[in-house]
Amino acid sequence: MILEVRSLKKSFRGKKVLRDVSFSAGSGSVVGILGENGSGKSTLLSILAGVLAADGGTCTLDGEDILGVRSAVRRSIGYAPQGTPLLEELTARDNLLLHYDRAEMEKELKDGVLATLGIDGFLKTTVSKLSGGMKKRLSVGCSVAGRPPVLLLDEPCAALDLSCKANILDFIDAHRKGGGIAVLTSHDQTEIAICDKWYIMKDGVLREYVYDGDIGKLVSEL
């Protein structure tokens, strides 16, 4: 399985946010998109998730164009935007039911991704009463309904404590080991460390970067 992005372009009111963005990712890989706030990382993921329309360029999965083809996007891509996009007044279970069939949810809670994320411990709790880490795990759990092969994760570990972070990183690792592709945007050192490929986004331009563990060097590149 190969995810291939070629010459992606996007402008907002004449301001170019993405300029000919290209990258590729193969099965069992985690791609890190790094960059400063406002550099265009989230816009890139939104386009890949089908939320935004690109002004130009292509994105293919195994040679099949997935931009603008909603059904294909829905089946193949799981998208977890920044923050925790959840129905705060309802329980964790209600939020999962928006994405999963009841039987599928029970199965995933027993020995699937929802169990890996540790969601079964707070199923009946109202989301507004959950901690930030619990909400994030729930949010990721919602986005992986149907086990899509491609995961787009926008800052999945932002503002989480160490145990929650470890929980989510374990999940990403399990996804990679299962042959999936994960594309994540990040500012977090531990997230960056689990990636196989790195790209730096600056002023809408994406370029490949080889991360050798030297965070000072990386910061100077951003």
Least distance from other proteins to the Cβ atom of residue 180, Å: 15
Least distance from other proteins to the Cβ atom of residue 114, Å: 13
Q: At which residue do the structure tokens 């989480």 appear?
A: 160
Q: Which is nearer to other proteins, 207 or 217 (CB)?
A: 207
Q: Which is nearer to other proteins, 29 or 46 (CB)?
A: 46
Q: Which is nearer to other proteins, 4 or 104 (CB)?
A: 104
Q: Which is nearer to other proteins, 95 or 210 (CB)?
A: 95
* Sign of CA pseudo-dihedral 105, 109, 110, 112: positive
Least distance from other proteins to the Cβ atom of residue 43, Å: 7
- Most distant CA atoms of the chain, gap in Å: 49
Least distance from other proteins to the Cβ atom of residue 49, Å: 4
Other beta carbons within 10 Å of 68 = 11
CA 46 to the chain's CA centroid: 10
Q: Which is nearer to other proteins, 111 or 214 (CB)?
A: 111
Least distance from other proteins to the Cβ atom of residue 9, Å: 15
Q: Which is nearer to other proteins, 181 or 213 (CB)?
A: 181
Can you give the binding site for other proteins, defined by CB under 8 A? 12-13, 17, 37-43, 46, 49-53, 70-71, 73-74, 77, 79-90, 94, 97-101, 104, 139, 142-143, 145-146, 154, 185
Question: What residues contact 105, with CB distance under 8 A and at least 6 apart?
Answer: 93, 96, 97, 114
Least distance from other proteins to the Cβ atom of residue 85, Å: 4
Least distance from other proteins to the Cβ atom of residue 198, Å: 17
Phi, psi of 191 (to 5 degrees): -65, -45
Cβ-based burial of 127 (10 A; exposed 0-12, middle 13-18, buried ≥19): buried
Q: Which is nearer to other proteins, 25 or 150 (CB)?
A: 150
Phi, psi of 109 (to 5 degrees): -75, -30
